[in-house]
Structure 1
Amino acid sequence: MMRRADTQNKGHRNLAVAVSPWILLIFAVSFGLFSDGLPEAIRLFLGYAVVYPVLEELTFRGWCQTLLLKKPLFAIRRLGISPANLFTSILFALAHWLVREQSIILLVFFPSLLLGWVREKAGSVGYGILLHGLMNIFYFNVSMAGF
């Protein structure tokens, strides 16, 4: 029978193995290692579809929301939304506001609540990363079309 610590260590090792290639890809794209031969639109697309969703979901839902959910006060859901999700979504919107215009807050806050809900239902950030990437691809296409 495996002890709890052994199970946790195995889980952390598996997570590290699963996440490592993504982290390498993120750094490679972020620091322009593949950018010489890539058109600007493809670099932007990779950022919106892969880099930002992975980094943001691991940071906000994977770390912040998970940490808050361990506190009983933040884990109680009202109308399907936990205080952990609400607080994380506020932080997420504020982080986007710092690098964008003020009107982006509402455009980011409500989808963030959905991403937080998905994280809590799934028990991990995997589906949230996928959904976040799809939402960013939609935003990317709309912004490239000039809307």
Structure 2
Amino acid sequence: MAAQKSPPVLWCDFQFWAVIMAALLFLFGLYLLSDPATDLTWPFNFPKEFLLLVLVYPVLEEIVFRGLLQERFHCWISYQIPGLVSSSNLATTLIFTAMHFIYHPPLWAAAVFIPSLIFGYFKDRYQSLKAPIILHIFFNAGYFLIFFNP
């Protein structure tokens, strides 16, 4: 029986940095296409709201969705869907996306599907919440900095 290969160190992981770069390009494209009339200094005027949206909520969501649900689903339905997505990641992503329909317009709620799969992929890859939390904070910071008007 061959030993299972451990994932690379997060900060040296090409896939991690590729996701960061793709997110930057995507957010920049959204910014150019949507031309939001946003004051990019709003986090300084509303630091509590910014910290909740960018730090507290992503950490809590990752603990609940990737730390609890994805782990539980992994125990119940553990098989790999062709490609890079586990069944536990897909099940968690469907619930994560559905929950976003409560507080977000339908298009924006649906838009969390792909990032959620990415967060779940890194949870599976590292068997840790560190990468999903970092990515979720990064994604939220970019999104809310550009598109949120308190």
Fold-level similarity (TM above 0.5): yes
Following superposition, the deviation at residue 39 of structure 1 comes to 6.2
Greater relative contact order (Cα < 8 A, sep 6+): 2
Following superposition, the deviation at residue 77 of structure 1 comes to 3.6
* Alignment-mate amino acid for residue 43 of structure 1: K
| Aligned mates of 2:114, 2:136 — CA distance in 1 | 12
What 5-or-longer segments of structure 2 have no aligned partner?
Answer: 1-42
Q: Superposed, which structure 2 residues align to 1:1-147 within 5 Å?
A: 41-71=46-76, 73-144=77-148
Q: SS where residue 112 of structure 2 aligns?
A: helix
Following superposition, the deviation at residue 104 of structure 1 comes to 1.8
What 5-or-longer segments of structure 1 have no aligned partner?
Answer: 1-37
Instruction: Name the structure with the higher helix share.
Output: 1
Encode CA deviations 1:73-121: one digit per residue, 9 max, x unaligned.
4332421101111110010011010121111232111100000001000
Q: How many residues align?
A: 108
| TM-score of the superposed pair, with normalisation by structure 2 | 0.66
| TM-score of the superposed pair, with normalisation by structure 1 | 0.67
Moved over 4 A (4+): none
| Bigger Rg over Cα | 1
Across the aligned residues of Structure 1 and Structure 2, the Cα RMSD in angstroms comes to 2.1
